């Protein structure tokens, strides 16, 4: 019987591509999103690829809804062999610009929701003696970046959680991994809002950061490539905890992991707000 994969955040972008790629690899894919009325692009991509998907509602900020979704998948498919935690949300702003509600929202979507959903599938994987949990984080889970305080904080948190979990679950045959994309083509910059307060002391620095980001996103990895890399991680025959979706992401993450006093990262990112 084919493995059963549960993928979050599949209405667009990397999640959409990963869900279709996993189905093309022979897995039975439960593709989830907050609002299934937005499933048109996903279903069209699946049809073009000649595969079928089981599309369901799942909001990673709704604990009861997540439990209900997992229960229904277990009832209909019997198990979850692969979980791809892809749903996430970005945020631009430095500490003083952020209200705590925004910080909490980042934690709910990018960290606590991932933890809650992972906890729901682990018992079945542990009892079966096999399974995979793949969490899409970001290079921002290894490299703190200007004006990404809340986002990087949440991504650092989820990477710490998963790295701590990995060695324990490995004893039960469950592989826990994170996959770290760099910039992926999106509307990130155009959707970012500059401070409306003309006296905001950070306005000029933020404008410089966004200008630099325009260049990064203009040359970003495509969602198709990043999504394919996620699917490859989820179906790989050999285990690694940490994956990246591109050579650029690998180089960027590697800079931080080898940065014992922190100066390499700070030296690189200072220029982003010059």
Residue 176's nearest CA partner among 212, 131, 221 is: 131
Q: Using alpha carbons only, give the angle 274, 180, 127 rounded to the nearest 5 degrees.
A: 150
Whether 209 sits among the annotated catalytic residues: the reply is: no
Catalytic residue (one of 111, 151, 202, 209) = 151
Give the rounded distance of the alpha carbon of 37 from its chain centre. 22
d(CA 178, CA 125): 18
Please report where in the chains the tokens 């279709």 appear, as a residue.
20
* Residues forming the active site: 151
């Amino acid at each position: 019987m084919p493995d059963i994969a549960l993928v979050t955040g599949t209405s667009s972008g990397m999640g959409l591509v990963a869900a279709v790629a996993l189905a093309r690899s022979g897995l039975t894919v439960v593709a989830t999103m907050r609002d299934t009325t937005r499933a048109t692009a996903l279903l069209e991509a699946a049809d073009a690829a000649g595969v079928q998907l089981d599309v369901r509602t799942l909001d990673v900020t709704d604990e009861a809804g997540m439990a209900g979704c997992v229960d229904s998948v277990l009832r209909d498919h019997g198990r979850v062999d692969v979980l791809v935690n892809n749903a996430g949300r970005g945020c631009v702003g430095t500490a003083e610009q952020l209200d705590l509600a925004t910080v909490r929202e980042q934690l709910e979507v990018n960290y606590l929701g991932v933890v809650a959903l992972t906890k729901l599938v682990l018992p079945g994987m542990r009892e079966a003696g096999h399974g995979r949990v793949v969490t899409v984080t970001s290079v921002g889970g290894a490299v703190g970046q200007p004006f990404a305080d809340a986002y990087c904080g949440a991504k650092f948190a989820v990477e710490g959680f998963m790295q701590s979990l990995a060695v324990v679950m490995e004893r039960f045959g469950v592989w826990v991994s994170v996959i770290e994309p760099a910039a992926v083509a999106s509307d990130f910059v155009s959707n970012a809002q500059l401070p409306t307060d003309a006296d905001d002391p950070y306005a000029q620095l933020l404008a410089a950061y966004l200008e630099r980001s325009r260049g990064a996103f203009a040359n970003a990895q495509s969602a198709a490539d990043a999504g394919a890399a996620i699917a490859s991680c989820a179906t790989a025959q050999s285990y690694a905890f940490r994956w990246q979706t591109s050579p650029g992401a690998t180089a960027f993450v590697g800079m931080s992991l080898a940065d014992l006093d922190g100066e390499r990262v700070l030296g690189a990112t200072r220029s982003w707000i010059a």
